[in-house]
A and B are shown apart, each in its own frame.
Chain A
Amino acid sequence: MAEVNETDQTPNLGDSTTPSQPKPEQITTTNVAVPIPDVGPQLQVVVDEFILKNGSSDEEVRTAARNDLRDFIEREEIGITTLLVVVKYAHEFKNADLLDAFCERVADLIKDKKVVGVREIFGIVNDFTPEEEHALRDEHPWAFED
């Protein structure tokens, strides 16, 4: 199998106009690689497709790719565990758009939740003492008065 060339990999953070960006016809599957262990093959396929399309020079293709990925994540209700796995790998492979798509989903899951709800999503352990919790609640009533 051909080696994966680092410079031909997915675009760096925020840098989508580098001259070294491969032309669409040059992108082959060997250049596109964010292999993510522990996620299902379906998601891997979708991610790979996203990366491929996101490298296009056509704005519409890129936007469509982002929307498709977003819709897929939402439709399939990708679990938090998987979301975090992809986030970490996207971060490691410096794929800003992939990272953003999944981070947005995580933020979406957190949004409009109460404290208990937030904890439930991640299985967060409450490490506050009762006094600290009380103090926190006293600190924030302004945010919850309806």
Chain B
Amino acid sequence: MNEFLHFLRFSRLEYMNQGLEMSLPDELWRWILELGVNTSCLTYKDLCCISMSCRRLNRLSKEDVLWSKLLSFDFPAHVSSSTDRQSPKSIYQIRFEKDKVKKLLAERRAVLRIESRIHEHTRKLHEIEGRLVDENEKLKAAIDELKGLRRVKEASTALKVWQPEIIHSRQKQIVENCSVPVGFRINALEMEIKLCKQHISGFLRARKDENDRLEAAKERLSKVKYHPLQSFGLDDESRNSRKSTGKNLKRVKHE
């Protein structure tokens, strides 16, 4: 009964759109697969999928020609010895897995390196922040003192003119309470304030720079950690975009 149905199925090949692969002889399938591999249209992934579709294609997609070609494309550094008793497909798998491990380790090293830089930048930022705080406090103190001294100066000037007694005595008090040489100290404070402001703007620049570096490092880290699909070297998105833009990127056999 099964055989009958089998026969029925294949005699209505094109009408049923079933078992179309049977309409091609092995030779043509080989041609399609080889062409696909040679033009970098079909990858190891595609061949593996094909090999799982049915027995016949399993046999055809395992062939050495195909996998030797893939090896020469994807792992050209591999030197095949004549004593290689394994099939090219197995060799490919081994190389693939080794390569994956290598990549993983390299990635891990890169991640650690960047993470330590991030740590360093963060530490420096913290330091700069601290300095900014200190300098701002210094500035504030100087400004306050300057304000006070200016009041003293005003008072001493005002004393030279006639004032009502209440005001006069208050001003006298202000002047007498000041124990520092006013003129001298005002100059010193003004210079200090200028310096503080310079320092502060310097720290602000440094903070921005360090922050930029920190952000850049974080960006690098996120890029290293992000993997799109891990096919060899390329992800599927970029391969699809290659398809639409890069017919010239295909390795065409006889051009």
Q: Which residues of A contact B (CB under 8 A)?
A: 14, 38, 67, 70, 80-81, 84, 87-88, 91, 99-100, 103-104, 106-108, 110-115, 117-119, 121-128, 133, 136-137, 140, 142-146
The 8 Å CB contact of A107, one of B24, B36, B57, B230, is B36
Complex interface: chain A residues within 8 A of B54 (CB) = 119, 124-128
Complex interface: chain A residues within 8 A of B28 (CB) = 87-88, 91, 103
Asked whether A115 lies within 8 Å of B49 as measured between CB atoms, the reply is yes
Asked whether A125 lies within 8 Å of B19 as measured between CB atoms, the reply is yes
A144 to chain B, nearest CB (A): 7
Binding-face segment, B10-18, B109-117, B132-140: B10-18
Interface of B is mostly: helix
Complex interface: chain B residues within 8 A of A133 (CB) = 52
A145 to B227, CA, bound (A): 12
Asked whether B53 lies within 8 Å of A124 as measured between CB atoms, the reply is yes
Complex interface: chain B residues within 8 A of A114 (CB) = 49
A sample of 18 inter-chain contacts (CB < 8 A) reads A67-B247, A84-B24, A88-B23, A88-B24, A91-B27, A91-B28, A99-B31, A106-B32, A107-B41, A111-B46, A112-B46, A121-B20, A122-B21, A128-B55, A137-B52, A143-B44, A143-B48, A146-B227
Asked whether A107 lies within 8 Å of B32 as measured between CB atoms, the reply is yes
Closest B-chain residue to A70, C-beta based?
A: B247
Give the contacts of B1-42 with A (CB-CB under 8 A). 9, 14, 16-21, 23-24, 27-28, 31-33, 35-36, 39, 41-42
Give the contacts of B45-89 with A (CB-CB under 8 A). 45-46, 48-55, 57-58
A53 to chain B, nearest CB (A): 16
B96 on interface, CB distance cutoff 8 Å: yes
Given contacts A84-B20, A107-B35, contact A142 B53 (CB under 8 A): no
B166 on interface, CB distance cutoff 8 Å: no
Q: Count A/B pairs, Cβ under 8 Å.
A: 120
A14 to B22, CA, bound (A): 27
Complex interface: chain A residues within 8 A of B17 (CB) = 80-81, 123
A144 to B48, CA, bound (A): 9
B161 on interface, CB distance cutoff 8 Å: no
Complex interface: chain B residues within 8 A of A143 (CB) = 44-45, 48, 93, 96
Asked whether A81 lies within 8 Å of B20 as measured between CB atoms, the reply is yes
Name the 5 nearest CB pairs between A and B, nearest first: A107-B36, A123-B18, A122-B20, A143-B48, A122-B21
Asked whether A124 lies within 8 Å of B19 as measured between CB atoms, the reply is yes
Asked whether A103 lies within 8 Å of B230 as measured between CB atoms, the reply is no
A84 to B23, CA, bound (A): 8
A16 to chain B, nearest CB (A): 9
Complex interface: chain B residues within 8 A of A106 (CB) = 32
A111 to B57, CA, bound (A): 15
Asked whether A118 lies within 8 Å of B18 as measured between CB atoms, the reply is no
The 8 Å CB contact of A110, one of B36, B44, B236, is B36
A82 to B39, CA, bound (A): 22
Complex interface: chain B residues within 8 A of A104 (CB) = 35-36, 39, 41
B126 on interface, CB distance cutoff 8 Å: no
A142 to B99, CA, bound (A): 12
Given contacts A112-B46, A146-B230, contact A87 B24 (CB under 8 A): yes
Closest B-chain residue to A143, C-beta based?
A: B48
A38 to B23, CA, bound (A): 14
A124 to B45, CA, bound (A): 19
Complex interface: chain A residues within 8 A of B48 (CB) = 140, 143-144
A87 to B50, CA, bound (A): 19
B229 on interface, CB distance cutoff 8 Å: yes
Complex interface: chain B residues within 8 A of A70 (CB) = 247
Asked whether B41 lies within 8 Å of A100 as measured between CB atoms, the reply is no
B254 on interface, CB distance cutoff 8 Å: yes
The 8 Å CB contact of B20, one of A99, A123, A127, A144, is A123
